[in-house]
Structure 1
Amino acid sequence: MTTIGFVGLGIMGGPMAANLVKAGYFVVGTNLSRPKIDWLVEQGGRGADSIAEAVKDADVVITMLPDSPDVEAAALGDEGILAHARQGALYIDCSSIRPDTSRAVADAAASKGVRTLDAPVSGGEPKAIDGTLSLMVGGEPETFEAGREFLETVGSTIVHVGPAGSGQTVKIANQLIVAGNIGLLAEALLYLEAHGVDTEAGMRALGGGLAGSAVLDAKAEKMRSREFNPGFRIELHDKDLGNLEVSARQAGLALPIGALVTQVVAAAKAQGDGSLDHSGLFRQLAQLSGRD
């Protein structure tokens, strides 16, 4: 039986680890908070009190962590993955981080005889639960093939997009598109409300035309009902757009529309809405029109 060490059992990582357990893998999970570990044990996995314990016997290591510094600490620290993983192990990072961080981790892993993939995910908590995430994967082609079976357990759209760091680059592009769509969806809803339109009917009409999107399908009702329980938090989207700013600057790109939506998301976080679902960006845009 393949042993998988899983580091990071939060909103996304927990369901992903549970799906790997259901698929028949022996999953050893660890997390900063003990209740998440206990939950995985209830699903049939095994808990570990440290990264070292989780990865020392693993054939595959998967991380799902909040940001680049977390991945650097987990992967490169003295008590981290590369210090304790077996030579020949496969390390798949499903976190959403900076591409240059992924490349640095891949280089360090290669020197230790550990194969790597950066495989950030899209789809939010519902798709993490039902195992239908979209994964954009960077790494060597043969390593991608070695990791495919594990990726297909947690996702339904698995695309190899290039060498190390490429998965993160595509994920950042994904987050740019999603943030722009959320912002425009919020403004469209505010516009409909201001003119007294039946917004449920209006959104159905929009969803059937060229304006239809996965964002509209997933987020319009949350905005209409003003229910923003987190599936993907504003503070995490703010982090992803910060990574966009850094990597765009490194490439010498001017992205004015992206810069605008990045500032609106940053303002929503600064106003105390960081823990809301990213559809909660509606609140910030509504306030600008005095309609909160």
Structure 2
Amino acid sequence: MFMPDAIGFIGLGIMGSPMAANLVKAGFDVAGHTRSRAGLDRLAAAGGRPVTGLAEAVTGADVVITMLPDSPDVEQVILGPDGVLAHARPGTLLIDMSTIRPRTARAVAAAAADRGLRPLDAPVSGGEQGAVEGVLSIMVGGAAADFEAAGPVLSALGTTIVHVGPSGAGQTVKAANQLVVAGTIQLLAEAIVLLEASGVDAHAGLQVLAGGLAGSTVLDRKGAGMLARTFTPGFRSDLHHKDLGIMLDAAREAGAVVPVGALLGQLMAALRAQGDGGLDHTALLLATERMSGRTHD
């Protein structure tokens, strides 16, 4: 049975840092590399081994995990001349947990398999808090045997871990996830604007909504912050805008019609055009208020 011990973790940002910390807590030897000094310091504080180069993180690792912003980053880090494939030994599990285009995931998996690696695309949902608590939802594409081998690692990061199909399938499910999350946030924003414009206590209103069919994890985790207009990024609007682009591209490739998804892409683009791309994606509330000619004191 494959029993991983050494993990190379590439990308220690808002999501990657707590994920790497949870792997350390689970007893893995985690060597981490990232571009920011702060990310390396966070790993050191968690008991991991910060390293200054990608090669040092990857060489000798049983598992390599990448958690990067976008498709070009994954291509560069994994496929580049000094990337993961240049340093990982055959048999290494390569788990890309970034959110990227399904076709990029398939291309990366094919290249990795050609080098004797065992690739999985395993994007996550649950945001920063889910990463901190180790309760992420993880949707995994790749070979079933590789998914089974990755079980001890993924179990340290999430509680809902599902093999959804071959390479690229994990990214397709993540695209669908981002469609639902953005749609729910936008509808929650509109509900808040409606309640407040009508003179109704929005806190009481959301409490009732949360207990009925309108209830959701988005409402439970994001509602209070939206009412308080606290938009410190757990997941930046810029990244959700990127993800909606991935969703629309995947829908176009599959021949699926997603009219609400297209509208959500435009609403997120408008939020970014107004200078709010660095805020949490719940800042869709600000854009909705502006469309209604309202501001919150």
Q: Cα deviations across residues 220-252 of structure 1 (Å, max 9, x unaligned)?
A: 111111111111110010000000111111122
Letter of the 1:9 counterpart: L
2:202 aligned with 1:180, yes or no? no
Q: Cα deviations across residues 173-232 of structure 1 (Å, max 9, x unaligned)?
A: 000000000000000110000110011111001111111111111111111111111111
C-alpha separation in 2, matches of 1:223 and 1:24: 37
2:97 aligned with 1:97, yes or no? no
Aligned-pair CA distance for 1:266: 1.0
Ranges in structure 1 where 5+ consecutive residues have no aligned partner: none
Q: Which residue of 1 aligns with 2:206?
A: 203
Alignment of 1:87-236 (within 5 A): 87-236=90-239
Aligned length, in residue pairs: 292
Q: Cα deviations across residues 105-162 of structure 1 (Å, max 9, x unaligned)?
A: 0000011000011000000011100101000000000000000110000001000000
Aligned-pair CA distance for 1:50: 1.4
TM-score (norm 2): 0.97
Aligned-pair CA distance for 1:270: 1.5
**Residue 255 of structure 2 aligns to a residue in which SS?**
coil
Q: Which residue of 2 aligns with 1:283?
A: 286
Q: Which residue of 2 aligns with 1:10?
A: 13
Alignment of 1:19-98 (within 5 A): 19-98=22-101
Ranges in structure 2 where 5+ consecutive residues have no aligned partner: none
Bigger Cα displacement from structure 2, 33-42 vs 92-101: 33-42
C-alpha separation in 1, matches of 2:207 and 2:249: 37
Runs ≥4 residues deviating over 2 A: none
C-alpha separation in 1, matches of 2:213 and 2:50: 47
**Residue 253 of structure 1 aligns to a residue in which SS?**
coil
Letter of the 1:64 counterpart: M
Letter of the 2:259 counterpart: P
Q: Percent identity over the alignment?
A: 60
C-alpha separation in 1, matches of 2:172 and 2:256: 14
Q: Cα deviations across residues 44-72 of structure 1 (Å, max 9, x unaligned)?
A: 11111111111011010001000000000
Letter of the 1:54 counterpart: A
C-alpha separation in 1, matches of 2:251 and 2:38: 38
Letter of the 2:209 counterpart: L
